[in-house]
A and B are shown apart, each in its own frame.
Chain A
Amino acid sequence: NAGVTQTPKFQVLKTGQSMTLQCAQDMNHEYMSWYRQDPGMGLRLIHYSVGAGITDQGEVPNGYNVSRSTTEDFPLRLLSAAPSQTSVYFCASSYSINFGGPVYGYTFGSGTRLTVV
């Protein structure tokens, strides 16, 4: 199993450009999330999805869009890149056995290092 696959691994954008960070998982997990990691701030949740067709905002959603058309894929779109979006982005997937119960198998992709100049 590949687990969680993110592409690209590195990207440099100019201010105002748009792009999509790709995330795919092959574990049939229903939950998927996007986080950004900045120095000294841990990981912060951008958007998450509890299943195909269902997405919701996390802690820092502004400037980002997501969609979940399939269980496997959860792309993150930057609409108009800004230097403040320079960060490392991680996609994660997980599952639960009972609704409202513990979540298991939390697996992170290897990350995308994005620089906006």
Chain B
Amino acid sequence: EDKVVQSPLSLVVHEGDTVTLNCSYEVTNFRSLLWYKQEKKAPTFLFMLTSSGIEKKSGRLSSILDKKELFSILNITATQTGDSAVYLCAVHQGAQKLVFGQGTRLTINP
């Protein structure tokens, strides 16, 4: 059975801290791994990863994929209260299917 597991499920840190969110997966026909940020409404796209070992960066956020060990991490440095959200990991597999993890709820306290 295809599955994507995120950890931790919930994380509370102080503003300025650095956080690492984890995503492990077991899916058939892997095509890519995606990270999303979800606040009140729809998930918004952060990164798409297809190749191992190549870091993607966007400001204070970065992500990397390990296709041998079947996991990805999302790092956020110098966290701000606006980073508070649920972060979703999803693996695109086979015929146009996204398999989502449960999400990590990140809370940044001032």
Q: Which residues of A come within 8 Å of B, CB atoms?
A: 31, 33, 35, 40-45, 48, 50, 56, 58-59, 90, 92, 94, 101-104, 106-111
Closest Cβ of chain A to B97, distance in Å, is 6
Closest Cβ of chain A to B52, distance in Å, is 14
B100:A42 contact, CB within 8 angstroms: yes
Number of A-B contacts (CB under 8 A): 61
6 of the cross-chain contacts (CB-CB < 8 Å) are A40-B9, A42-B103, A56-B95, A90-B42, A92-B98, A104-B48
Contact (A43, B95) CB under 8 Å given A102-B32, A109-B42: no
For chain B, which range describes its interface: under 10, 10 to 19, 20 to 34, or 35 or more residues?
A: 20 to 34
Closest Cβ of chain B to A90, distance in Å, is 6
Q: Look across to chain A and name the residue whose beta carbon is closest to the beta carbon of B50.
A: A102
Q: Which of chain B's residues have a CB closer than 8 A to the CB of A48? A: 95-97
Contact (A42, B102) CB under 8 Å given A50-B95, A103-B96, A104-B48: yes
